[in-house]
Amino acid sequence: MSKDAIISVEGVFKEYDQAPILERVNLDVTAGTFCTIVGASGCGKSTFLRMLLSQEHPSRGQILMEGHPLPPEPTPDRGIVFQRYSVFPHLTVAENLVLASEIAAAPFTGRLFGSRRKKALTETEALLDRIGLSHAANRYPAQLSGGMQQRLAIAQALVKKPGILLLDEPFGALDPGIKLDMHELLLGLWDEFGMTVFMVTHDIHEAFKLGTRLLVFDKVRHDPQAPEAYGATITYDLPLSDPEMKSGRLPEEIAETIHVPKTALSSGFQTPNPHEERS
């Protein structure tokens, strides 16, 4: 483990009912990294993210955050954005954003009233403006488009100023045009808040475009008689800060290794692996 790592993953294995999902995962991530994670479906990349969140726990090995073992449950120092169900449907946009400060200020009721509530709402106005939802402050999530909901989800996850932001395919359900807007917003916020980002995505081009470091999860050992016998691990760990890496044939090569057809890179559509049949 290196000293300046905000996250250190040490020999992590994860099994469900004896079926290995991840094996021998080792990783050091320095603070401020934008780490994108790709891999075939079911390769355990979302499991890995859930372990970083303490929603799940490693079967073996440990994960350290700033040198200390991760707390056993989700805490405010790690924000999360899911693909769906990321915002509270019973709260308006403004209420969703103000919830974190209400929770911090009122341990028993979890609510603020009168002038304190007004003050808290005023404080979220800048953030509302930043994500372009000022006009929709009093709407419920069901009245927002998918892109607006995800913008709200990202803003809500950043209210507590977490050192680590976890994103689980946050833009997987969005149109390509909306995705580009979201990329801009996310990169802007990353610049502004300086948090460490872990983002799982299906879209390899998105992973190359956004990340400063790309992790590819894949199985290194394959038993054709028992495809479930081995778990996945990190097979590629690419620094992307060098602009050379972002261009060229690399995305296609990665796509090939994780068996995503190049023509369907952004849809996440999967075809059977041709190499498997030969072996």
Partner 1 sequence: MRLINRKPSRTTALMLGLLPFLILIIVYTIASQARLAENPSDRLLPSLQSMANAMEKMAFEPDRRNGELLLWKDTFASLMRIGAGLGISTLLALVIGLTMGTLPYGKAALAPFVAAFSLIPPITILPILFIILGLGEAAKIGLIVVGTAPVMIRSVAQAALDIPRELIIKAETLGASSWQIATRVIVPSVLPAAIMALRIGLIPAWIFLVSAEAIASTEGLGYRIFLVRRYMAMDIILPYVAWITLLAFIMDYLLRVLSRVAFRWKHLEGDSL
Give me the residues that bind partner 1 (CB under 8 A), please.
Answer: 53, 55, 73-76, 78-80, 82, 84-91, 99-100, 102-104, 107-111, 140-143, 156-157, 159-160, 162
Q: Supply the Cα-derived Rg of the chain in whole angstroms.
A: 20
| Closer residue to partner 1 (CB): 91 or 245 | 91
Distance of closest approach, residue 209 Cβ to partner 1, in angstroms = 26
Q: Are 202 and 259 in contact (CB under 8 A)?
A: no
Distance of closest approach, residue 71 Cβ to partner 1, in angstroms = 10
| Closer residue to partner 1 (CB): 159 or 182 | 159
Distance of closest approach, residue 212 Cβ to partner 1, in angstroms = 23
Summarize the chain as % helix, strand, coil (round to 5).
Answer: 35, 25, 40
| Closer residue to partner 1 (CB): 10 or 74 | 74
| Closer residue to partner 1 (CB): 27 or 112 | 112
- In residues, how long is the chain? 279
Distance of closest approach, residue 183 Cβ to partner 1, in angstroms = 22
